[in-house]
Amino acid sequence: MTDQEKLQVLFDRAEISEVVHRYAIGIDSRDWKLFRSIFTDEIEVWLGFATDAKPELRRRNADKFTEQAARVITQFAVTQHFLTDYHIEVNSNDAVCVCYMQARHFNPDGKGGQTVWDIGGYYTYHLTRTANGWKIPKYTLTLTWEENRPPGVRL
């Protein structure tokens, strides 16, 4: 690999890290325009538990997916998503980023306190280089644990 190719990989990894970071920032700040901006127009998504059967990706329109995510997240007073330990592999115009995640979802309990739904696991983001930078056409969230899921909340 030439020095120029090595520099390109480093640059790509930095851009990919920023795209993945915008996922969490978009959700927690409820900036749905920012959240939507990281996806291609059509995406494939799977959200589930590590113990589930083979993941079945669902094809979604990214605008509709963003609306669905907004409906779930806005049920909570505050959310905080932590993404760590990015492992990024770049292969020309495609890439995969796997990172650990922990998310906290706070909701007033009506008694002056809060109930907190905590989840943890890892994301696997598949990215592609587009004319507008790196975008996500496919991703999965594999949960390895959760505590206190509120009634009626589905992934």
Q: What is the pLDDT along the chain (155 residues), one digit of tens a residue?
A: 899 989 999 999 999 999 999 999 999 999 999 999 999 999 999 999 988 877 789 999 999 999 999 999 998 999 999 999 999 999 999 999 999 999 999 986 666 566 899 999 999 999 999 999 999 999 999 999 999 887 777 76
Residue 30 lies in a domain: yes
Residue 79 lies in a domain: yes
Domain of 107, CATH number, reads 3.10.450.50
Residue 153 lies in a domain: no
Q: How big is the CA angle at 41 (ends 37 and 44), to the nearest 5 degrees?
A: 105
Residue 95 lies in a domain: yes
Q: What is the pTM of this model?
A: 0.91
Residue 39 lies in a domain: yes
Q: What are phi and psi of 115, to 5 degrees?
A: -105, 145
What is the pLDDT, as a whole number, of residue 51? 86
- Expressed as residue numbers, the domain containing 136 is 3-147
What is the pLDDT, as a whole number, of residue 109? 66
What is the pLDDT, as a whole number, of residue 108? 67
Classify 51 as helix, strand or coil. Answer: coil
- Smallest CA-to-CA distance from 123 within 71, 47, 62 is with 47
Residue 152 lies in a domain: no
What is the pLDDT, as a whole number, of residue 88? 98
Q: What DSSP designation does 54 have?
A: S
User: What is the number of structural domains in the chain?
Assistant: 1
Residue 81 lies in a domain: yes
Number of helices (H) and strands (E) in the chain: give both, helices first: 3, 6
